[in-house]
Amino acid sequence: MLDKSKICVIIPCYNNEKNVADVALSVVQYSDNVIVVLDGCTDNSAQSLQTISDKITILSYFPNKGKGAALNYAFDYANHHNFDYAITLDADGQHFASDLPLFFEAIDTNYGAMIVGSRYLKHDNMPSGNVFANKFSNFWFTVQTGKKLPDTQTGYRAYPIFKMKRLRSFSKRYEAELEYLQRMTWKNIKLISIPIQVYYPPEGERITHFRKGKDFARISLLNTIMCFVAIFYGYPSMLLRKIWTSLRCDKTKV
């Protein structure tokens, strides 16, 4: 039986006063352990959360450090408070809290694996840039790990905190989520993909802090670095872990 008290839900937020309170309130219906990380917000995000502050945990710091830094900060908190899993979703309202039971079920069935939400990438309102960036990221993820994943850019995921120990991303912004997938795979942590819903508002209402030029360049740089790391560390470490696991199994049979 899955113990939901060992699972927290993390919502990283940077200047999303319009949506963050509604997102947090929707998540509270499914979890008693909701953590909102205010990543150097300069708008009224903090004030908008005051009406539900008794139902959630708010972590806050200044200045803005990026999504990767916010995740690292929240994972440290989750680890310190002995959570086994941390589910992350975005504060902009594109993810549905009603999909959380799918994550709970996947965690229960595949305990120890990382659960990755997969968006329908032919969504009519999905920005073309997002589709390209995801396909680009998917390709390099396969090159660097030998594994395939339909959606490497999604922020809706369940991280096995108890298996990550001190593993934290070096990247501090959006590219951190890709780095986590790469390094989890190199540690032979299984990745399970599940279908999720996604909402993309009309272009005029869309809130994004993704900087097309700078952030895409950072992702490209990360992929370049990770290709070298994959050759000299990633693939060798996966092979060694596979051999070690095989030897342990053989000893058990004897």
- Rounded CA-CA distance 162/113 in Å is 11
- Rounded CA-CA distance 8/28 in Å is 11
C-alpha closest to that of 194 among 83, 129, 109, 130: 109
Domain with 222, as residue range(s), is 4-253
Beta partners for residue 49, in sequence order: none
* pLDDT tens digits along 186-223: 999 999 999 999 998 766 555 565 556 676 777 788 88
Give the chain's length. Answer: 254
Give the containing element (helix H, strand E) for 144. Answer: helix 128-145
Confidence of residue 142 (pLDDT cuts 50, 70, 90): very high
The answer to whether the beta carbons of residues 162 and 75 sit under 8 Å apart is no
Q: Return the CATH number at 31.
A: 3.90.550.10
| Residue 122 in this model has a pLDDT that exceeds 60 | no
pTM for the model stands at 0.90
Domain count, the chain: 1
